[in-house]
Every structure is written in structure tokens, then in C-alpha cells.
Structure 1
Amino acid sequence: MVSIDGLTDLWERLLGAQPDPPPLLVLLTAVVALVVVSTRLPWRIARNAITIAHEGGHALVALLTGRKLRGIRLHSDTSGLTLSAGRPTGPGMILTLLAGYLAPPLVGLAGAWLLGGNRITLLLWVAVALLLAMLVMIRNVFGVLSLLVTGGVVLAVSWYATPQVQAAFAYTGVWFLLLGGVRPVVELQRLRSRGRMPASDADQLAGLTPLPAFFWVTVFALVNLATLVAGALLLAGPMLTDTGLTG
């Protein structure tokens, strides 16, 4: 049996605010995330996290718009597929398609908001909870392994790591989601221009609306860039204030 004191300690650990991170940590984690996003091999490995957020965005919006979620697949080439049933046209389908490329930086923005309140442990536990919720809809072995490994790493850091390591891990992850949401949009347009992604989210949106696929790619890019700026202000704003670089 878990004691009342144990539950109280757990609750305080979950909801309590951690100390402000050093400004240098915020800066260095941003640099690390930028290096990962902009270099080939690290990006190839870490991009799985972007795919998880992308497919999770499709799945969540499908459920919120009343569609029936059939399952999610994550593949070793960092591609993914979310299947849902419902009307093949209309606002629900449009919003479901729109959500994928927007989800990673929006998740990053939510994480930046939590970090702005120094809720580092809460952020890590919410991430684990979301991964577990997504796990029940995974329909292939690689997808299950990908979520278990990702969730296991996050849980281990939240439970065993020092506050400094937790902060570095959380800030790097949030910076990565914010920055990593931009590169797939660039890759999408590059592949589309070569005729290699005829059934992309943007092309499917073009088929459902009067607007061309390039319009939707532009929407992805502008929203993700705006989200990156907003997230960066949340993460780096206190640092800039402390160093006298704002106002």
C-alpha cells in the first residue's frame, strides 16, 4: 500500500516548480537541438520523435472531430501512417490532414509554456502519459518499440536523473520539437517538386479544397515558424530579461 505521505510527496514532485535553469543551459540546449536538426545522421535518428508527434497530431484531431481512429503505424524510415474512418470530405478530414505537420512545433510550444513555469518534471510525465496513450493505437512492431524506447528514456530521466540533467533533457527536447517542425516542411516541398510525394498531406488537402498544395505547404511553414518564434520567446525570454537584453 502507498502511504498518504508517499502520495503527497509524489504529487508535490509532479506539480512542484524546479529552480530556474542557468541561462547558459537554455542557450546550449538550443544549439544542441539546432545541430541535431541540421546534420544528417543525428536528424535521421531523432526524426522519429517528430514522426511520433506528427502522427499523434493526426490521431488526436481525428478523434476530436468525431472520426473513428483505426490505428497508427511508425516505420523505420521515419515515415508514418494514421488511419481513421469517417466522411472522406468536410472539415473533420481537412483538420485531420492539417494537424500532422503542425503538431510537433505546437507540442513544443506547449512544452515551452510548461518550462516557462519551471514545471520540468510535470512536462516529462505528461510526455510519458501521451506516449502511453498513443501506444494503444499502434499497429506495427517498430511503432511499439519506438514508443516504448522513447517513453522509457523520458521516464528514466524524470525518475532517476538529477534536476540539472532533467532540465537539460527537457529543454533540448522542446527546442528540438520547435526547430524540428520546420525541416520536414522544407523536405516536403523539395520532394513534391520532384514528383516524389503525390499523396502528401498538402496534396490531399488540395484535393479537398479549392486551394493548391503549395498554399498548404506555405501554411505549414508560416505556422511552424511563428510557433518557433513564440516558443523561443517563452524559453529564452527570462534569460534575455535577466541579462538586460530586453526592454
Structure 2
Amino acid sequence: MQHPFNRLSPATGTPDLGGWTLVVVLALALLAATWWPAWRVLRLGVTLVHELGHAVVGMACGRRFTGFVLRSDMSGHAVTVGPARGAGVVATTWAGYPAPGLVGAAVVWLATAGWAAPTLTLLLVGLLAALTRVRSALTGLVVVAVLAAGAALWWWRDDALQQQVLVGLGVLLLVGAWRHLATMLGGIEARSDPGSLARATGVPAVLWVGSFALVLAGATWLAASRLLGVVGG
């Protein structure tokens, strides 16, 4: 049996992700993010990262994360307790939309560098912590399902498979982040994150949406340049 420590360590050699393997991984990730029967389920994973982005930044700003919920319509809500005004609450509110893109880009970089196993370990630890803050049955089902899939991938370690799955996950999160942001094209609701930021700061909501887009563009460029480098290398 594989020693537990071996499931935490980076790959001894970077698995080959060039050629048709990468094409297949990207095609499956894009299909999952654009084909409605798959997206209607997987979009909950993007919402999960969105809400945990609020939670992580909130805790980094000294706020207390008390719980979160996911809803089947792609919306969600994370509750952090702290001052009602100030930079902390602004940063916490802003963090949601960029979170899936930033996590996606980071996962792509780490996985293609041979760090899929440590990255997967960190993600599982984060999900276990998040499980204690679940506040609805659907939210619990989503977190447990993701945990189970990730745990199986972690336990029966295969460096090539872990890399392929995490690269696909990273691309899915990036595309999903753009899809979430695109919902703003029909109008910015007052209770949305940019609407809340506009009320808190006086800065127009459309400028906050623009800041989300800039961050996602940067994350997309980083991931794309990394994958092009893998192919070129």
C-alpha cells in the first residue's frame, strides 16, 4: 500500500500533458462548461468557489465566517460577521466573482508544474473545513460529492490522471467564472455583489463589474500562457 506521505508529495517527474492529451482535456472541460445538461450541475461547483472566495477573503480581513448556502439557480450566499463598513467588508464582497478564475488559473499552473497531489490535498482540506459551515441540504450534497470525487482521485494516486483532472477543473472554473460574470449583461441587480459594492462605496456598479473582468482576463491569460508553454515545451 502506498505510504500516506506519498499522496502529499509532488510528482517526481512532470507528467506529459502535450499533444492530443491536452486537446482532449481542454475539449472535455469546454464541453462541460457549455453543454447545458452538464453545466446545470457543474455550475454549482463554480458557485461553491465563488462563495468560499467571499469566506476566505473575509477571514483574511478579520471577519468570522459563519456559514454558506448554494442554490440550484447558480446563486449562493456566504455569511461573514464583522464591521458593516470599511475596507474589510468591501474586499469580502468583491472577492466572489474573481475567485473561480483565480483558483482555476492557480490550479492549472500548479498541476502542470507537477504539483497536482499537493494542490489536491490543499483543496480537500479546504472543503473539509467548509463542510462545517454548510447551511442547507443542497450545499451539503455538493460539498460531499466534490469531496468524494477528490478523495478518490487523491487516494488512488495516478500522477497523470491527477494532472489531467486538475487542468480540466482549472479550465472549467475559468470558463465558469466568465459565464457567471456574463449574467450581469442583462442588468445589475441591487442585491448582487456589484450592487452591494456600489451602495457601500459610491463607485458605480458597472466599474466593479469591470474590475472583475480585468482580473478574470489576467487569470485567463496566465492559464493560457502556461498551457501554451506546456505544448511548446
Same fold, TM-score > 0.5, yes or no: yes
Question: What is the distance in 1 between the residues matched to 2:190 and 2:198?
Answer: 11
Percent identity between matched residues is 29
Give the number of equivalent residue pairs. 231
- Matched to 2:7, the amino acid is R
Deviations 1:28-57 (A, max 9, x none): 212222222223222111101101100000
Q: 1:191 to 1:198 in 2, by over 3 A?
A: same
1:213: how far off? 0.5
Match of 1:188 in 2: 184
Which residue does 2:145 correspond to in 1?
149
Question: Where does residue 48 of structure 1 map in the other structure?
Answer: 44
**Residue of structure 2 in register with 1:39 after alignment:** 35
2:191 pairs with one of 188, 199, 224: 199
Q: Pick closer, same or farther for the CA change 1:122–1:236 going to 2, 3 Å.
A: farther
Q: Is it true that 1:166 corresponds to 2:162 in the alignment?
A: yes
Q: Is the 8 A contact 2:98 2:177 kept in 1?
A: yes
3-state secondary structure, aligned to 2:133: coil
Structure 2 distance, partners of 1:33, 1:10, is 30
Displacement of 1:160: 2.4
Q: Which runs of 4+ in 1 moved over 6 A?
A: none
For residues 65 and 156 of structure 2, the distance between their equivalents in structure 1, rounded to whole angstroms, comes to 35
Q: Distance in 1 between matches of 2:86 and 2:190?
A: 21
Give the counterpart of 1:175 among 171, 178, 181: 171
Tell me how far 1:86 sits from its aligned partner. Answer: 1.7
Across the aligned residues of Structure 1 and Structure 2, the Cα RMSD in angstroms comes to 1.9
Q: Note closer, same or farther for the CA distance 1:178–1:43 as it changes in structure 2 (3 Å cut).
A: same
Counterpart contact for 2:67–2:80, Cα < 8 Å: yes
Deviates more, 1:115-124 or 1:221-230: 115-124
Mean alpha-carbon deviation: is it higher for 174-183 or for 199-208? 174-183
Pair member with larger Rg: 1
Following superposition, the deviation at residue 165 of structure 1 comes to 2.8
TM alignment of 1:127-146, pairs within 5 A: 127-146=123-142
Partner deviation per Cα, 1:201-239 (whole Å, 9 max, x = no partner): 001111111310111111111211111111122233121
